[in-house]
Structure 1
């Protein structure tokens, strides 16, 4: 399957908002550029009409120009290698590509070759999720990563001592990439599955559930998460904005989950909830 690359020139203040909007249209990989960002979507899912309609919503606030081109899947490696920079999160976690050297000061070292998958750690939500993971006991725990992307959060769970890890993603090529990254980090035992919330129905309960997706999917799938979360288990959510937190708090409360805390970065949020 080939991909469509949409190169957008946009004010930095609106880049995150548009990234979220395009995610709703099916775009699932983003690369920052000097004057905006590039967004990627599978060719058969692309609608220029839908793209124009979304951009029109912001026409009175910001000038957005864009260029569309078709790229072959194998060209993605060259694209992300040109733009991927190593990260150091929470003073403990190194996230790097295989061609970067391992930093000596890192307690946890995660190697990610993202290909077309979301979740390099560069987006605020992934960073916030990792920062929240660092506060929880994963040792010997059973962990679920919903919408796993590159598998970075599932791998982080392994680094923190989780004994059983299940990761779920809706795109087959993303599942393939998550499995490759798990193997690359010596976590080949991570069970990476293709599908959505239906894949966890009837599962043995989890101690920790991670879900970095988006507001609407989180609200829709929350009952499925609660059904497989142990009493006193933790639910970590991200992929939504500060203004969305109250509605997510309300939904979790209805399901018997207690809000504990949240982190914010550039208006993105990662929140911690605990089963009562």
Structure 2
């Protein structure tokens, strides 16, 4: 049986939503690209009409373009490997799939098999978050990864010496994939939960909170983050553009979170805030 590849160009803020929608149509593998993602489905399950109907529901909310091509089954592994390139972040962190060899020069090595989840490190926001994590002391800390995707940031926190790790996502298939990747990297102790910020509302406070989501969710949930962040704790945010930074800074400052620094890549931002 052959496969259909659908490559979509879409704003990252809607990529997770469309990934979930396509998952409902039977697409079962997704790969991030610079300007969206590619989705894969067995040929006999593919319906052009169903795809167009799904995308039409978001007309007026987001601009989406796509291209379709058939991939012969014998070329599937080659196609997957072609799309999933190993990364080296911050001169220290290797992010690779299980079929890539470990780079000898890597101080930290993370293996991610993404399946249907985002967070392979290829998107600017994930890279920026990891670069910012490298500047924050995680040793012995209690860390929360909100909107965890593949679990890559929680795994990175473990690599940096975090003692307790909680990861949360709203999609059940994402939670499953995060658990698989945690086990793959020998971090089976990561507490991966299904739900939103309410799942940690009654928690003991965290030393570090990581949230790579989107501007609107960050603005809505920031008070909840602050409520479970220890005094002198760190909040690392991403999933928004440079023009969104001032409004996020204003919101954070109003909650007693002091802006420390930010990084930019292709207009995407990751910022660090410190609880006073």
Answer whether TM exceeds 0.5 for this pair.
yes
Structure 2 gaps, min length 5: 21-29, 42-49, 70-75
Residue 111 to residue 250, structure 1, CA distance change in 2 (3 Å): same
The 8 Å contact of residues 80 and 115 in structure 1, kept in 2 or not, is answered as no
Residue 123 of structure 1: aligned partner: 123
Residue 151 of structure 1: aligned partner: 151
The 8 Å contact of residues 234 and 274 in structure 1, kept in 2 or not, is answered as yes
- Match of 1:153, SS state, is helix
Residue 23 of structure 1: aligned partner: 15
In the TM superposition, 1:44-83 aligns within 5 A as 47-54=54-61, 65-67=65-67, 80-83=80-83
In the TM superposition, 1:71-220 aligns within 5 A as 80-220=80-220
The 8 Å contact of residues 112 and 120 in structure 1, kept in 2 or not, is answered as yes
The 8 Å contact of residues 5 and 38 in structure 1, kept in 2 or not, is answered as no
TM-score w.r.t. length of structure 1:
0.83
The 8 Å contact of residues 252 and 258 in structure 2, kept in 1 or not, is answered as yes
For the residues of structure 2 that align with 1:77 and 1:222, how far apart are their CA atoms? 41
- Match of 2:140, SS state, is coil
Residue 46 of structure 2: aligned partner: none
Residue 204 to residue 55, structure 1, CA distance change in 2 (3 Å): closer
For the residues of structure 1 that align with 2:120 and 2:249, how far apart are their CA atoms? 27
Residue 257 of structure 1: aligned partner: 257
Encode CA deviations 1:115-142: one digit per residue, 9 max, x unaligned.
0100000000000000000001000000
For the residues of structure 1 that align with 2:12 and 2:121, how far apart are their CA atoms? 16
For the residues of structure 2 that align with 1:32 and 1:24, how far apart are their CA atoms? 13
For the residues of structure 1 that align with 2:40 and 2:212, how far apart are their CA atoms? 19
For the residues of structure 1 that align with 2:172 and 2:92, how far apart are their CA atoms? 31
In the TM superposition, 1:233-252 aligns within 5 A as 233-252=233-252
Task: State the shift of 1:49 in Å.
Answer: 1.7
Residue 30 to residue 220, structure 1, CA distance change in 2 (3 Å): farther
For the residues of structure 2 that align with 1:118 and 1:23, how far apart are their CA atoms? 9
For the residues of structure 1 that align with 2:67 and 2:174, how far apart are their CA atoms? 25
The 8 Å contact of residues 242 and 269 in structure 1, kept in 2 or not, is answered as yes
For the residues of structure 2 that align with 1:189 and 1:77, how far apart are their CA atoms? 31
Task: State the shift of 1:24 in Å.
Answer: 7.2
| 2:250 maps to 1:270 | no
For the residues of structure 1 that align with 2:78 and 2:181, how far apart are their CA atoms? 18
Which runs of 4 or more aligned residues in structure 1 lie more than 6 Å from their structure 2 counterparts after TM superposition? 41-44
Residue 227 of structure 1: aligned partner: 227
Residue 49 to residue 97, structure 1, CA distance change in 2 (3 Å): same
Residue 73 of structure 2: aligned partner: none
Encode CA deviations 1:61-97: one digit per residue, 9 max, x unaligned.
xxx753479xxxxxx9886434100000000000001
Q: How many residues align?
A: 254
